[in-house]
Chains A and B, each alone.
Chain A
Amino acid sequence: GIQVEQSPPDLILQEGANSTLRCNFSDSVNNLQWFHQNPWGQLINLFYIPSGTKQNGRLSATTVATERYSLLYISSSQTTDSGVYFCAVELNSGYALNFGKGTSLLVTP
Chain B
Amino acid sequence: DVKVTQSSRYLVKRTGEKVFLECVQDMDHENMFWYRQDPGLGLRLIYFSYDVKMKEKGDIPEGYSVSREKKERFSLILESASTNQTSMYLCASSFRVGRVYTFGSGTRLTVV
Chain A contacts to B: CB under 8 angstroms: 1, 30-31, 33, 35, 40-45, 48, 50, 86, 88, 90, 95-102
Please tell me the size bucket of the interface on B: 20 to 34
Is the Cβ of A41 less than 8 Å from the Cβ of B88? yes
Q: Tell me how far the C-beta of A56 lies from the nearest C-beta in chain B, rounded to whole angstroms.
A: 13
The answer, yes or no, to whether B105 is at the interface (CB within 8 Å) is yes
A40 to B105, CA, bound (A): 8
Give chain B residues whose Cβ lies under 8 Å from the Cβ of A96.
Answer: 33, 45, 48, 58
Within 8 A of A (CB), among B53-112: 56, 58-59, 88, 90, 92, 97-103, 105-106, 108
**Complex: how many Å from CA A99 to CA B41?**
10
Q: Can you pick out 16 interface pairs between chain A and chain B where the beta carbons lie within 8 Å of each other?
A: A30-B98, A31-B98, A40-B105, A41-B88, A41-B106, A42-B103, A42-B105, A48-B99, A90-B98, A95-B50, A95-B56, A96-B48, A97-B92, A99-B43, A100-B42, A101-B42
